[in-house]
Amino acid sequence: MSKRLLPIGIQTFRKIREDNCYYVDKTTYIRRLLDEGTHYFLSRPRRFGKSLFLDTLKELFAGNEPLFKGLDIHDRWDWSVCHPVVSLSFGSGNLSEPGVLPKEVMAQLDALEEETGVESRYDTASVRFRHLIQRLHRQSGQRVAVLVDEYDKPILDALDTPEAARANRDFLRGLYAVIKDCDAHVRFTFLTGVSKFSKVSLFSGLNNLKDITLDPRYSAICGYTEADLDTVFAPELPGLDRDQIRDWYNGYSWRGDEKVYNPFDLLLLFDSREFKAHWFETGSPSFLIETLFERRLSSLALEDMIGTDDLLSKFDVGDIATEALLFQTGYLTIAEERKLGGKTLYRLGYPNQEVKQSLNEHLLRAMGPDPSRQGLHDIQLYELLSAHDFAELETLFRAFFASIPYEWHINNDIANYEGYYASVFYSWFAALGLDTRLEDSSSHGRLDMAVLFNNNVYLFEFKVVELSSAGAAMAQLKERRYADKYRALGQPIYLIAVEFSKEARNLAAFEVECA
């Protein structure tokens, strides 16, 4: 198989097919959707291929047969029938300013009416939308396909100003209600976005949507699978470590049998041949970081959060569950699923090294006093750990905590308990991309943190103590024999007891012993 063009940033199905770009066939999922229902909703993180999937649907309903030659659906579709398509997209522009969203929708309806030859004398978006769908059905004799991309972006753009966000939400609720009202005229509906807003708040008028976000049958409807890499992208793999690709970019799960890759990550990797945070760097997590700090959430908690179906979909203006925010934006994914009576519980975790390393780097900058110096601190930590210079390592940590302004401690509750201090250690090691494991369980108890680096094992125990009671952390490391679990590795093991003082707001003790 010869190399093809990498469709970086291309969301147009026609362009990908006509320009001989790599394409992962998703039309098998389209056949299933058409066989099993009419109105669908799908939530996926940004840059996961949602827009391309909608554009594929658009070309299919428009009957553009040549684009589908060689694809799964080609011989299973009646190409003699064409359906009108009404497609709305809110992916571009800033729609947070009051009054901008209605104007944007009216402009899109202007373009659709001009393209289809439908004339309208109505001056409200919902009425025009309804008139367009009904007229296209009567005009063509075929029911209409309604496609909405980034359905939630007008609300997400305005979350910093809740009043504007609610106004946009209420406007969209009226617009989307038209789809159900026009059910007799609609052949197929597909809405996509990053978030999954409460049905009560946004889809109360469109309550016949089938949500396939957590349907295992559609877990890979967006994203690339391992099989896709080994077949479609086989020409790009030589020279790249297959295990490293998997560790860096695989791991997203929506309850399917296999996990998937973010397409944007892989395309940028194949282009640059460098392992970097390609997906993470395209979005600003500032809102997420601020929210985590406002809610006093320690970074230690991120790898072991528990969610339910209801909790993962609890997303509305002013009422966003932390688990839903992290899951829907792609910073956490489903790591494990359990049945508890009639309820399903999901344990969430980082999908891959890219997200774990990058998110902790941002968290560390927010927790630390001087983000501009963090790069130098990272180098020092890495070099001191490599050299086993524990005395200087203690000096580095003491200097870091000492540089945190007094006001920070006074104004932030998170600094008043053990979790903050431990979070700094954890995020620092995780941001370096080291193999960092939290609360690793053994028959003797749960170790706070293990770091496997450079063929050495470092076992950490953290405690907040009174100055007079130092030594408790090292005693626990020894008494509970945490090192036993790692002896089979045949690597040097170091016990590191880190104790913090509330009074001094710094390290009270930093002890290191070989196990």
More confident residue, 20 or 296: 20
Q: How far apart are alpha carbons 420 and 413 in whole angstroms?
A: 9
Would residue 391 count as lying in a domain? yes
Which of 218, 249, 284 marks a domain boundary? 218
Tell me, what amino acid is at 215? D
What's the confidence (pLDDT) of residue 415? 46
Residue 188 belongs to domain with CATH number:
3.40.50
Which of 167, 202, 218 marks a domain boundary? 218
Helical residues (DSSP H) of 368-435, grouped into ranges: 374-386, 390-402, 406-411, 418-431
Q: What is the chain's Cα-based Rg?
A: 26
To the nearest 10°, the Cα dihedral for 234, 237, 241, 245?
A: -70
Q: Could you give the 3-state DSSP secondary structure of residue 34? A: helix
Contact yes or no for 173/202 (Cβ under 8 A): yes
Confidence of residue 412 (pLDDT cuts 50, 70, 90): low
486: DSSP letter: G
What's the confidence (pLDDT) of residue 342? 83
21: DSSP letter: B
What's the confidence (pLDDT) of residue 417? 54
* Range(s) of the domain holding residue 157: 25-218
Percent of the chain residues past pLDDT 70, beyond the cut? 93
pLDDT tens for each residue of 151-174: 999 999 898 889 999 999 999 999
Tell me, what amino acid is at 350? Y
Q: How far apart are alpha carbons 496 and 449 in whole angstroms?
A: 10
Tell me, what amino acid is at 82? C
What's the confidence (pLDDT) of residue 40? 96
pLDDT tens for each residue of 115-158: 999 998 898 999 999 999 999 999 999 999 999 999 999 999 89
Would residue 16 count as lying in a domain? no
Residue 52, CA distances (Å) to 43, 367, 442 in order: 14, 38, 46
What's the confidence (pLDDT) of residue 469? 58
- Give me the residue label for tokens 């949500």: 211
- Identify the weakest region by mean pLDDT among 6-10, 244-248, 315-319, 348-352: 315-319
Which of 218, 234, 265 marks a domain boundary? 218
pLDDT at 107 exceeding the cut of 70: yes
Question: What integer is the mean pLDDT of 274-284?
Answer: 90
pLDDT tens for each residue of 377-405: 889 999 999 999 999 999 998 888 777 66
Cα–Cα nearest to 40, from 214, 207, 180, 209: 209
Tell me whether residue 276 is exposed, middle or buried, using C-beta atoms within 10 angstroms of its C-beta: 0 to 12, 13 to 18, 19 or more: middle
What's the confidence (pLDDT) of residue 399? 85
DSSP string, 197-217: --TTTT-TT-TT-EE-TT-GG
Residue 508 belongs to domain with CATH number:
3.40.1350
Question: What integer is the mean pLDDT of 63-78?
Answer: 97
Would residue 83 count as lying in a domain? yes
**Average per-residue pLDDT in the chain?**
90
Tell me whether residue 97 is exposed, middle or buried, using C-beta atoms within 10 angstroms of its C-beta: 0 to 12, 13 to 18, 19 or more: middle
**What region does 111 belong to: left with phi over 0, alpha with psi -120 to 50, or beta?**
alpha
Would residue 343 count as lying in a domain? no
pLDDT at 196 exceeding the cut of 70: yes
- Identify the weakest region by mean pLDDT among 286-295, 377-386, 401-410: 401-410
Residue 258, CA distances (Å) to 33, 106, 372 in order: 20, 42, 40
DSSP string, 117-153: T------SHHHHHHHHHHHHHHHHSSPEEEEEESTTH
DSSP string, 246-308: HHHH--B-SS-SS-BB-HHHHHHHHHH-----TTGGGS--HHHHHHHHHTT--GGGGGGEEEE
Q: Give the HSE-up count for residue 165: Cα atoms under 13 Å, Cβ half-sphere.
A: 17
- Give me the residue label for tokens 């008139």: 131
Would residue 237 count as lying in a domain? no
Would residue 439 count as lying in a domain? yes
pTM (predicted TM-score): 0.91
pLDDT tens for each residue of 490-499: 999 999 999 9
Would residue 168 count as lying in a domain? yes
| Number of domains into which the chain is organized | 2
Would residue 230 count as lying in a domain? no
